[in-house]
Amino acid sequence: MAELSTINRERRLSPRLPARGVLKAVCREGALEPGPNLALTVLDLSETGARLVIKEALSPGRKVYVNLEGSAGGRPILRGGDVVWSLPMTDGTFCIGVSFHKRLQPSDLLSLT
């Protein structure tokens, strides 16, 4: 039988950090012909992914591109990724978890959180 400490162990590859200040985000589905911006809010980020609130449902496995820009006016950071999970919210929006194809650099993550 598994020990309690093993069951409750953190499974994330890197810790989540809350988005800071005015973080502009664009989230588009697709690769060749990206669709409209679906992003409403970035809830948190890690080196390996993000948790976003979006306008429309996206099922797990869908490809997205996320463009992040901090309030300090630094260069925008673009990452491709996969939707890992999606949950409907009571206001008709959706909360999704995105796993990036390429990690964020620690310095980029600190500038956004």
Alpha-carbon span 10 to 104, nearest angstrom:
20
Percent of the chain with pLDDT over 90: 50
pTM of the full structure: 0.81
For domain 22-112, give the fold. Thrombin, subunit H (2.40.10)
- The strand ranges marked E within 9-93 are 17-18, 24-29, 39-45, 49-54, 63-69, 77-88
Lowest average pLDDT, out of 11-15, 26-30, 87-91, goes to 11-15
